[in-house]
Structure 1
Amino acid sequence: MVRVDAEGLLGPIDESMARLVRTAGKLTDEQVRGMSLVPPWTRGHVLTHVARAADSLCRLLEGARTGRAIPQYASMAAREAEIEAGAGRPVAVLLDDVAAGAARLDAAVRSLPEGAWRRRVRLRTGELRTPGSLLATRLRELEVHHADLAAGYTFADVPERIARWIIEDFAEAVSRRPEALPALRIEATDAEVVVELGGG
């Protein structure tokens, strides 16, 4: 059963995924081996990461469903090895993997029982998050990694309503960090979005 607040993110996540797939679908096998905006990762690394990140969220949701502590990744070394192993695949295989990961995550979200939405799960960083907040993070990662492909899509192309969610999710993530923050103001130049952090 999908909570109302989470259900509002499923449509934007699907839209974001569709945009990413359209962009990546225009790449050739040679281009997908080209450098992304997060060197030394290639575009293939980025797409593999998007797929494996979906699987990692499925594990966290399974932890929320069962009440067991299930790690997001077996280890950081295992995470990196999975990304490296998948990065060199043909673009069609990469896209199938991305789509399959997205479908698994969608199914995990839609089948999560009501009580599980109130549980908190531990990210690889040690941070505790609710299942609903994981969806906001997924949306942010899809848009950021879409731009990371360096294939024509930039942050200027992110729809305003999604940009608002991304900024708010980023602000919430930063505000939860234990270290003191200096005063920080995030202000969109093309929308009425202002977030102030730190300095307290």
Structure 2
Amino acid sequence: MALSDVKTAAARLSTLVDGLDESTARGDSVLPGWSRGHVITHLANFSRAFTRQVEYALRGELIEVYDGGRPARDAEIEAGAHRPAAELTADLNEAVAALLAAWDRVGPDDWSRPILHRNSTLAQGIDATWRELVIHTSDLGLSSTPDDWPAPFCAHLLEFLRPRTPDGVHLILQPSDGPLWENGTGQDHVLTGTLTALTAWYAGRPSPTPIAGPAPELLPYP
């Protein structure tokens, strides 16, 4: 994954929310119980939190992703979700721009620096940034869907989500437009469809086109 992929995803998100009106901001997102305002607020807050992860890592320090942990994160999303549409988009654009600027400061020798997000590294952190921007852009339920996910992103996301395959299941995904992918051991579950549809299903998102086969109940998102 390259920083250019993250910048492409950020540009797509910015274009999608440009000119967002009040009715659209209050409308339902793809995520149950969340309006588009919730998704936009989450993306802005994530961007600020991850800017902090990068800045501290470059100083050789560690800091929690969100002060107050998950409860504080959730409360801030709820508190910010109902702001006027113009405020939501301005906050998002400012936060994402700051995050991209932080990633631009990461040098070739910095990628192994540790961060507290998933107790990982900056190299893994930029992958997390990519996932958040691409997936949640689709979650807005506007003109972007998982059908827009690039093949390299689908391949990355499938690998990241391997822990979702339950014990006793040999999951076999047979995309009509990509290589076979499999995970786990046990009873075969063969699913067919497009790569984006199969990836969306594995990510717990609505499939943009039908998939066929006996779909197992997946474990929680890792």
TM-score, normalization by structure 2? 0.72
Give the 4+ runs in structure 1 shifted more than 3 A.
Answer: 113-116, 172-175, 179-182, 185-189
Greater CA radius of gyration, 1 or 2? 2
**What's the offset of the Cα at 1:78?**
1.1
The answer to whether the 8 Å contact 1:51/1:98 transfers is: yes
Q: How many residues align?
A: 184
CA offsets per residue over residues 40-74 of structure 1, 9 Å max, x none?
11000101111111112122223322332300111
* Pair 1:180–1:69, CA change in 2 (3 A): farther
Alignment of 1:159-198 (within 5 A): 160=150, 163-172=151-160, 174=162, 182-190=169-177, 192-198=178-184
- Residue of structure 1 in register with 2:202 after alignment: none
Given the alignment, which residue of 115, 119, 130 partners 2:121? 130
* Structure 1 residue ranges without an equivalent (≥5): 1-7
Q: Is 1:103 aligned to residue 91 of structure 2? A: no
- Residue of structure 1 in register with 2:79 after alignment: 85
Q: Which has the higher contact order (CA 8 A, sep 6+)?
A: 1
- Residue of structure 1 in register with 2:207 after alignment: none
The answer to whether the 8 Å contact 1:137/1:169 transfers is: no
- Residue of structure 2 in register with 1:28 after alignment: 21
SS in 2 for 1:57: helix
Let me know the Cα RMSD of the aligned residues. Answer: 2.5
- Residue of structure 2 in register with 1:146 after alignment: 137
Amino acid at match of 1:94: L
Given the alignment, which residue of 93, 112, 115 partners 1:118? 112
Percent identical residues: 32
* Structure 2 residue ranges without an equivalent (≥5): 187-222
Q: Could you tell me how far apart the structure 2 residues matched to 1:181 and 1:172 are?
A: 19
TM-score, normalization by structure 1? 0.79
